[in-house]
Structure 1
Amino acid sequence: MAQAAPDVVSAGAATHQLADRLRRDLAPDRIITDLTRLKAYECDAITGYRVVPALVALPETTAEVAAVVAACASARVPYVARGAGTGLSGGALPVADGVVISLARMRRILDIDVPNQRMTVEPGVTNADVTLAVTKYDLYFAPDPSSQTVCTIGGNIAENSGGAHCMKYGFTSNHVHAMTLVLPDASVVTVGGDGPDVVGPDLRGAVIGSEGTLAIATSITVRLLRRPESVRTLVADFTSPAAAGEAVSGIIAAGIIPAAVEMLDALAIEACEAAVHAGFSLDTAAALVVELDGPDHVCDEGFAEVQRICRAAGATGIRIATDAGERALIWKGRKAAFAAVGRISPDYFVQDGVIPRTRLGEVLARMQEMADEAGLRVANVFHAGDGNLHPLVLYNGATAGESERGEQLSSAIAELCVEMGGSITGEHGVGTDKACSMPKMFSEDDLAVMKRLRTAFDPNGISNPGKIFPTPRLCGERPGPYRVHPLEAAGLIERM
C-alpha cells in the first residue's frame, strides 16, 4: 500500500513532544496516551487489523482540529481521522507512532434551514439524528446505512455511504451541498456551496469518498428531502436467489424505480429472525424486500405491477406491510443482518462489491461454488436493485486455517465482481482491506492519477497514510521502492 516517506511512519520520538504540545492546545483530558484507553481506537469494525496509535486527540471545534493537524504537520507525524469506528474496510486503522483525531465530540447541529431544505452539522452527528432533528418539519436525510443509528456524518463523507434507499436517492455525495475542511497543511477551506452545482472543479466531490486521505470535514451542509406522500413495502419469497434476481431485473425493465430493493438468502434470514423476529419466512431460499414511494397514484400502480412481476418470477408468497409499524419491523430485520450473523457464526468477513444486475444469478452461483471449494458458508444480504453485494463469509477463527481461507474467499469474491464487470467496493470503501485488489480494477495510469491528486492535497503523506493504494511486495505487486507498512511497523506482519 502507498505509504508516506519513511520519516513519517517512524516518528515515534516526535509523538512524545507532540503530546506535550497538544495538551497546551487542547485541554489535557482530551489527549489520550494511556495504553489501556488507546486500545479502544486500535481498529474499526474490521477487527482483524489492529494497530495501537501513539496518542488520540479529542478536538471539539474546527480550530482545534486545525491545531492538531498543524502540530502533526510540523512534526511530520501521521494522523488518522476517526468517527464512530463502524467502517468495514479498515479505513480508520491507526498508524503506528501516529495520532488518531477522534471527531466523536463534534456532534452539534449548527443550523437547520427548513425553507431551503438544508442542515449544517458537525461530523460527529449520527446519520439517524439528522433525520430525527427535522422529522417535525416532514423532512428527512435520504442516505440510510444499516449502521445509521451509530455511524456519523463525517464517516459517511469519508466512505460515500449509501444504504438501502441509495438505488433511487443516491449516495452521500448526492446529498451534500458544502463542507468546511481542514487540509493536511492545517489550512481551513470551504468547498461546495448553497446550490447543487458550483463554478470550477468539484473539490467537494473529490473529498467525499476519499477516506480521510485528502482532508477532514468539520462542518457539513446536507440536503434534506420532503417525506413522500405514500410508501408501499412488501416481502416476496422465492425458491432460489436466482429467481429473486429475475424479479429484480423484471422490475427495473418495467421502468419502475423502487426506493429500495433488498435481497436476503436463507442464511441471512435465519440470522435476522433469531435476532429481531421480523417475520421473514424461515422455509424460503431467498426474500426480496421491495419498497416504493411517491404520490399515491404512482405508488398504487407501481406496487400492483411489482407484485405481478414477483409472481411471474415464481414468488411463493408475498407479504405486504399493512402499516408503518410493520414496515419498520421489516426494515429492522434487514438492517440487523450484519450484526445478527454473529448468531450463526463465531466470526465472519463482511464483503462489499458491485456487479451488473443482469449477472446477479450467475455471480451468486459462482460464489456458492467458491464457498464450497473453500469449505465455508456465505450468507448474502445486499442491495439487489443496484447490484451492490454484501456477502458475509462465515468462519471459525478457533479452527486452524479457517481465518485464512475466509479472508482469501472474501478477497476472491471482491475480485470476482470486477471480473463480472463491476467494482471491488460499492459503499464500504477500500481502506486497508481492499488496497491489494485495486490493480484488479485500475491500471497503473489510473492509480498514478489518483496518487497525484492525493499528493496535491497532502504532499507529505501524513493524512491517513497506507490506505487505498497497494504497496509493492506486501501485496505481491510489481517490485518498487520499499515503504514500511503500518501493520509491519506495529509488528503484526513481516516482510518475506
Structure 2
Amino acid sequence: MDLVAELESVLGSERVRAHPLDRRVFAKDAGVKTGPVAAIVFPETAEETASCVRIAAEAGIPVVPRGAGTGLAGGAVPVEPALLVVMTRMNRIFEVDEQGRTAWVGPGVINLELSKQLASTGLHFAPDPSSQQSCTIGGNVGTNAGGPHCLAEGTTVAHILAVELVTVDGEIVVVGAEYPDPIGLDLRAVIVGSEGTLGIVTRVLVKLTENPPAVGTLLLGFPTVDAAAATVSEIIASGLVPAALEMMDRPMVRAVENFVHAGYPTDAAAVLLAEVAGHPEGVRAEAEMIERIARSHGATSVRTAADDAERALLWKGRKSAFGAIAQSAPDYYLHDTVVPRTRLVEVLDAIYEIAARHGISLLNVFHAGDGNLHPLVSFDASRPGELDRVLAAADEMVRVSVEAGGTLSGEHGIGLEKRDLMGLVFSADDLDAQARLREAFDPTGRMNPGKVLPEGSRCFDRAAVSGGTGR
C-alpha cells in the first residue's frame, strides 16, 4: 500500500491531500521560502496524529507540523519531501477552569477566538500576535509567539502550563502539569519555541489572565523618530512598564491610515501607541505620566481613546500594518530582531541606510518597549533580482542588530530564515548542546528536519564537514 492509501485508511480520503495543486499551496507559509510536500493530512485527534507519524516513519519520510500557515520564518516549510501534518481541525476548547484560570485547548484553536469564547468569564489568553485573528495556539507554542501586550505579560512560554505531544516514535506524552512548579526538568519550556522539531503538539494547557478593570490607550505623535525612541527609554527608565508600547514611522503610519482610517497623524515622523491597564486610578496616573514624558520630548499630538470602540480602532491600525503595505507592493519581507532599547535610534538609522543603499522600500513598525524590531520591506518578487536584493539587505539588518548587542528573533522563530545566522549569537558549544537536546527527542532526525540549527551543529557533524576528529 502506498503512502496516500495508508494515510487514507486512517483518516479517509477527505482529510488526505496529495494533488499537485494542494502540494503547491501548502509548500510555503507566510514567508518567502517554499519546499517539497509529499502529502498533507488533517488529523482531528492525538491518536490520528500518532498514526500519521508512524506511517511516515514506515515510508521513510520526515514529518512537518503546520498550523494556520501565518509563520514568517519558514518553520513549516519542508526542506525535503515530507508529510505535512496540518493541525487546524484540532480546534476544540476541551475544558475551562475559571477558578484555576486555565484551559485545555486543541492546537488548532485560533488565538483571538479563544479570548472571544472566554469573554463571559472575564479572562483572556494574553499573547496577542498581530496575526491573532488567524494564527493558532499550536503555532504560538511552536514559535513562543509574543505580541504588543507581551511587554508586561511575557511571551507564550509564560502562559503555557503543559502540552500533550506526539513524539517521533508515535507515542503520546504529556509534559508539564496543572500546577506551576512541577518537580523535575521543565520540559514544557523546552517544547515551547522548539518549532515542531521535538514533536507535534496535540493539546495545550494554557494559563488565562484576568481582564483588567480599566485600560488607557494613547496615540502619541512625534516630530522625529529620535524623539519617540527617547520617550520609550524614559518611560521604561521611570519604572513604568506599560501593557504595550508600539512604534511606527511615517511611511508605516501613512500606509496604515490610508488602509484603516483610524485617525493616525500622518504628518508625524513617528507615533507611539501606548497602553496601560489596571485599577482606574492607577491607569489615570500612568497615562498622565506617559503624556508628560512624551510632551517633554516634543510630542506634537496626544490622543487618548475615549471608549472601547476608539481603543479598538487604534489597535486595528497597529494590527493591520502587515496588510496595509499591500497597497504599495504585492510582497513583503521582515525580520524580528531584538536590540537594547538604548540603541534603538542607532540601529534604526543603520537599517534606513541599508534600505537606501539597496534601493528597497522600508517601513518600520515594532514593539518599542522591548526593542523588538520589525523592519518591513515591500517589494514585487516578480521583478528579476528584487528578492535577492531584499534578502541581502535583510541579512545586513540582522547583523547590525546583533552587533548592537541584540539577538536574532523576539517572537517569529528561527525556522529556515535565520537558521544559518545562529552562529552569530551562539558558540559552537552552544549549538552542540542544542543539537544534543534535539537528538534526545528525535534521534532519527525526522521531525521537521533542517530547521533552527544549521548543518554542523553537532560536534561530530563539524568533524565530518572539516575532516577532523571531533571531540
Instruction: Give TM-score scaled by structure 1 length.
Output: 0.91
Contact 1:414 1:425 survives alignment (8 Å) = no
2:15 alignment partner in structure 1: 30
Range 393-402 or range 172-181, more displaced: 393-402
TM-fit CA distance, 1:413: 0.9
Render the CA deviation track for 1:134-155: whole Å, top value 9, x for unaligned.
1001111110001101000000
Q: Aligned letter for 2:200? A: I
Please list, as runs of the form range in 1=range in 2, the aligned pairs for 1:326-341 lying within 5 A after superposition. Answer: 326-341=310-325
TM-fit CA distance, 1:18: 2.4
- 1:447 aligns to what SS in structure 2? helix
Cα 1:479–1:411 change in 2 (3 A) is farther
Render the CA deviation track for 1:22-57: whole Å, top value 9, x for unaligned.
2222212211111122222110001x2112311111
| Cα distance in 2 between the residues matched to 1:40 and 1:113 | 38
1:249 alignment partner in structure 2: 233
| Cα distance in 2 between the residues matched to 1:103 and 1:36 | 20
Render the CA deviation track for 1:136-192: whole Å, top value 9, x for unaligned.
011111100011010000000000001010100001100011111101111111111
Render the CA deviation track for 1:359-389: whole Å, top value 9, x for unaligned.
1111111111111211222110000000000
1:263 alignment partner in structure 2: 247
Contact 1:32 1:55 survives alignment (8 Å) = yes
1:187 alignment partner in structure 2: 171
1:418 alignment partner in structure 2: 402
Contact 1:162 1:172 survives alignment (8 Å) = yes
1:488 alignment partner in structure 2: none
Match of 1:318 among 302, 327, 331: 302
Q: Aligned letter for 1:24? A: S
- 1:455 aligns to what SS in structure 2? helix
- 2:355 aligns to what SS in structure 1? helix
Match of 1:345 among 295, 308, 329: 329
Residue 437, structure 1, aligned to residue 421, structure 2 = yes
1:307 alignment partner in structure 2: 291
2:469 alignment partner in structure 1: none
TM-fit CA distance, 1:270: 1.4
Q: Aligned letter for 1:106? A: M
Q: Aligned letter for 1:51? A: G
TM-fit CA distance, 1:459: 0.4
| Cα distance in 2 between the residues matched to 1:423 and 1:305 | 31
Count matched residues. 463
RMSD: 1.6
Residue 165, structure 1, aligned to residue 149, structure 2 = yes
1:380 alignment partner in structure 2: 364
TM-fit CA distance, 1:212: 0.2
1:487 alignment partner in structure 2: none
| Cα distance in 2 between the residues matched to 1:250 and 1:358 | 10
Residue 40, structure 1, aligned to residue 13, structure 2 = no
2:53 alignment partner in structure 1: 69
| Cα distance in 2 between the residues matched to 1:107 and 1:329 | 28
Please list, as runs of the form range in 1=range in 2, the aligned pairs for 1:100-249 lying within 5 A after superposition. Answer: 100-249=84-233
Q: Aligned letter for 2:397? A: I
Range 388-397 or range 275-284, more displaced: 388-397
TM-fit CA distance, 1:479: 9.1
| Cα distance in 2 between the residues matched to 1:114 and 1:478 | 51
Identity %: 43
Render the CA deviation track for 1:175-222: whole Å, top value 9, x for unaligned.
011111101111111111112211111100000000000011101011
Q: Aligned letter for 2:387? A: S
Render the CA deviation track for 1:214-248: whole Å, top value 9, x for unaligned.
01110101111111011001011111111100000
1:358 alignment partner in structure 2: 342
Cα 1:277–1:457 change in 2 (3 A) is same
Range 37-46 or range 152-161, more displaced: 37-46
Q: Aligned letter for 2:266? A: L
Cα 1:136–1:321 change in 2 (3 A) is same
Contact 1:83 1:103 survives alignment (8 Å) = yes
Cα 1:416–1:479 change in 2 (3 A) is farther
1:489 alignment partner in structure 2: none
TM-fit CA distance, 1:478: 7.8
1:5 alignment partner in structure 2: none
- 1:354 aligns to what SS in structure 2? coil
Range 390-399 or range 250-259, more displaced: 390-399
1:280 alignment partner in structure 2: 264
Q: Aligned letter for 2:406? A: G
Higher relative contact order (CA closer than 8 Å, sequence separation 6+)? 1
TM-fit CA distance, 1:278: 1.1
Render the CA deviation track for 1:381-428: whole Å, top value 9, x for unaligned.
000000000001233334433221111111211121111111111100
1:446 alignment partner in structure 2: 430
Render the CA deviation track for 1:250-293: whole Å, top value 9, x for unaligned.
10111111000000001111111121111101111100000000
| Cα distance in 2 between the residues matched to 1:87 and 1:452 | 26
Instruction: Give TM-score scaled by structure 2 length.
Output: 0.96
Cα 1:418–1:479 change in 2 (3 A) is farther
TM-fit CA distance, 1:314: 1.2
- 2:277 aligns to what SS in structure 1? strand
TM-fit CA distance, 1:480: 4.8
Q: Aligned letter for 2:232? A: V
Contact 1:57 1:99 survives alignment (8 Å) = yes
Q: Aligned letter for 2:420? A: C
Contact 1:78 1:95 survives alignment (8 Å) = no
